[in-house]
Structure formats: structure tokens, C-alpha cells
Amino acid sequence: MPLTKDRIAVLDGLRGFSIVLVIAGHLAGTRGFPLRENQVSAALALLGVRVFFVISGFLITQILLNEVGESGTVNLGRFYFRRTLRIFVPYYAFLFAMFALERVGVILVGPNDFAAAATYTSNYNPHAAWQLAHTWSLSVEEQFYLLWPAALALLGRKRAFGIVVLAIVGLPLVRIGMWKFAPALRDGIGHRFETCADSLATGCLLAAARGWLSERSWYTRIARSPAAVVVTGLVLASVVLDNHPRMAFAFGWSFQNVGIAFVIDACLRDASGGLGWLLTTAPAVAIGRMSYSIYLWQQLFLDRQSTSLMCRFPFNLVAVAATAVFSYRVVELGSLALRQRWEPRLFRARATAQSSPPDVAVAQQ
């Protein structure tokens, strides 16, 4: 498997694919872009976020299981320290910039929207201003980071993964129940943690099950076949189910979660074939590495209601790229450099990178 400075190239490529889905979904309806916003474009953007969720669940769980296997426990202090410098610094830099733009009248964002974004509760604020509306997914991830390592550390592996399985099986029922019996909450389905955490849980289960799957010859044959390409096509096609909410809530999103997990595993097992080769090309990897910064800033320039030149296609794509490159190189890499400098001083244990297996590197997170 091709590695690049301790990163998994194929997973960077998958991140690149997912952010392209988000950008494509958000571009629809912007001025100058030939396609209008519709349910399919919205579903593609949501699918892109779902890919992020499954990857995050998988990687975080793999890192935690590696630590448990080596030391018998999870160092929660170190985990949250790493998350702080990996996630918080670029995120709050973005929020500060949005606050400054709001103060000078460039954008219109309410104080409640800033409060929800700053406290990672935007997924319970369904009518946020467009510039901060995408922070719902970052809120879901942060809530996962808060809950899952603590659950694994305090409950133990068996009970924690029992909760994971319960989430995968039960959350489709929660979505259906909310749709049928709580109409006032329908706008939050797919954004509220209790209606979308099964995507993260599916990634968690993949991390735990890979060893078991490796012992099943029938599975490894399938995983090393062109099945990943077929499954990717089926997952993309399944976005049409979003036109039928009850089918999407009950089956469609769960199918996407499992399909994404299969593609992740198949590509990790054979990164040189078909889809894996495509995902490890230089453009895909480069986009994937910058996917966090791209996701943070794209919303500002993909505003369908704005008449600004910076929100008009193709200038908006140029603005997204330029801002993301600056954010990645200055803010993200600067923050990661601080983490690498301070982590050994604060935590005497060996760096997680030394205990990670060859195909799961800490630099991914």
C-alpha cells in the first residue's frame, strides 16, 4: 500500500472524493453554474459527509484499539490533546474570520448561529445561516470524539461495541420514528447526532472486524475483486432514495454506510488496483489532505443567494482553492507542528504512530 509520510494515500483519496461530492452538491444553484439545486445535489453533498463520518469512525477506533492493545487502556488526556490541535485551531480560526466578516457587514450571521457553532451544537440548530450551516457535521464529529473514546475506556471493548451494534441497528428506527411521530423534528433528521451516528458506528465496527474479515477467504476474494467499483456505483446511485425519505431513513443510508465501509476496506487491501489506483493519484491525495480546510471554507464561496463575484462560478472554485491552501499550509500544518512539539513533552508514552499498524497511521487524524 502506498504511504506518504505516514499517511494512508488511499484514505486521503477517499477524503478527496468525498469533498468533491460536497462541492458538487453545493455548487448546484450558484450563479453561473449550469445546474440548479435539487434533491440529488443535496443528497450528493450529504453522501460526501457520510463518507467522512465512516472514515473518521474507522480511523479513530483503529487508533484507540491499537492503544488498548499495547497499554491496556486509552489515554483520554492525550486523545483530547491531539483532537484540540488537529480540529480546534483551524475551526476557531474559521469562526473568527466569519465573525469579523459579519462585523463589517460582508455576511449576515445571527449570534445564536455563532453560539451553536462555537459550542459544537450546530446539528441542533437546523436553520443556521448558510455560512455556518455546514458546521452541523463538525458538531457531530466532535460529539463522537467526546463520547466514543470515553465509552471504550470506561465500558471496555465488549460493551462499547455492543453500543456500536445497537446504534447501527437502532438508529434507522429512530429516524423512521422521528419522521412519523415527531414532525417538528423532521428538519433535523440526518443532522442530529441520534439520527446519523450510525455512519460513525459503521466505521467503528469495520475497525474491530477487519481481523475477523481477513480470516474469511470468501470475503478477501470479494474485497480484492472489482467489487469496490461496483459498490461505489451502487452507493452513488442510492442517493435517489433521498426523494423517498422513509426508504432512505430505513434502508438507503444504512446501505450507504455499509457500502462505504466495504470500499474503505477493499481499497486498503488492494490500493494498487482499479479504484485504489485512482484514489492514490496525486490530485486525489492532495485534495484529500486539504479536505478539512476545503470543507471549512467552501460554504463562504458557494452561497446561492449571494451576488458577489466570489460566489459566482468559476470564481468561487478559485476562491475555495486559494483559501483552503492558505488555511492548510498556515493554520493546519502550523497547528500540527505545535502538536508534534508539545505531545512528547506532555505525554511520556510512546507516540501512537509507533504502535500503529503499517496501514493505519496516526497522521491521518
Contact 224, 216 (CB under 8 A): no
Domain boundaries, the chain: 3-364
The total of other beta-carbon atoms located within 10 Å of residue 320's CB is 24
Concatenating the DSSP letter of every residue in 256-296 gives HHHHHHHHHHHHHH-TTSHHHHHHTSHHHHHHHHTHHHHHH
**pLDDT tens track for 219-266:** 999 998 999 999 999 999 999 999 999 999 999 999 999 999 999 999
pLDDT along the chain (365 residues), means of 10: 57 96 96 92 96 97 92 89 93 98 96 98 96 98 97 94 98 97 94 98 97 94 92 96 94 98 94 86 96 98 94 97 97 93 78 40 38
φ, ψ at 106 (rounded to 5°): -75, -40
Q: How far apart are CA 338 and CA 330, in angstroms?
A: 12
User: Taking phi first (over 0 means left), then psi (-120 to 50 degrees means alpha), and beta for anything else, what does residue 32 get?
Assistant: left
**pLDDT tens track for 19-39:** 999 999 999 999 999 999 888
**pLDDT tens track for 262-305:** 999 999 998 877 788 899 999 999 999 999 999 999 999 999 99
Contact 342, 82 (CB under 8 A): no
